[in-house]
Amino acid sequence: MAYDNNNIFAKILRGEAPCFKVYEDERNIAFMDVMPQSEGHTLVIPKMAAENIFDLPPDDAASLIQATQKVAAAVKRAIKAPGLMIAQLNGAEAGQTVFHIHMHVIPRWSGADLKL
Ligand code: 5GP
C-alpha cells in the first residue's frame, strides 16, 4: 500500500492538526496519545513518511529507537511508573489504525488492563 499523505500523523507533522508535543529532534517527534491506554501514553514517530517498520530505512529506524528510548525514560521518570511497555503495530491485521509508523510508549501499573 502506498503511503497516504492525509493520515493524521502526516497532518500533525505538517502542523495541520494539533498535538501535545513533548519531544523533537532532527528526525523524530513525540506527542501524547489522544486516547491513552494509561496515564502518560506517548507516541514517538519519525518525520520521514513511512507506513510501517518495513518502509523505514536503517538510519531512520535506529534514530527512532534512540528517540523512543529517551522518551520512554523521561515518561517513566516523570510519572513514576513501575513498568513501561513499548509497542509498534504493522498492518491493519495487527491492529494498526494510523498508517504512519509510530512507537507506543505506555506506562504500566500492576493489575491495569490494556487493550492495544
Ligand atoms: P495504532 O493502533 O495505529 O498502533 O495506534 C494509533 C494511535 O494513535 C492510537 O493509540 C490512537 O489513540 C492514536 N491517535 C489517533 N488519532 C490521533 C490524533 O489525532 N492525535 C493523537 N495525539 N493520537 C491519535
ipTM: 0.99
User: Residues 37, 108: contact at Cβ < 8 Å?
Assistant: no
CA dist., res. 37 & res. 68, Å (int): 17
Contact 81, 75 (CB under 8 A): yes
Beta-carbon count within 10 A of 42 CB? 23
Dist. CA 115–CA 45, nearest whole Å: 21
Residues with CB under 6 A from ligand 1: 8, 19, 31-35, 89, 95-98
Residue 102 appears among annotated catalytic residues:
yes
Q: Which one is catalytic: 41, 100, 102, 104?
A: 102
> pLDDT value at position 16?
98
Cell 528510548 belongs to which residue?
69
Residue-wise pLDDT for 9-31, tens only, equals: 999 999 999 999 999 999 999 99
- C-alpha 33 – ligand 1 centre gap (Å): 6
pTM of the model: 0.96
| Ligand 1 atom at shortest distance from the alpha carbon of 99 | 3
| The pLDDT of residue 99 is above 80 | yes
User: At the topology level of CATH, where does 8-108 sit?
Assistant: HIT family, subunit A (3.30.428)
Taking a C-beta distance cutoff of 8 angstroms, is the pair 68, 44 a contact? yes
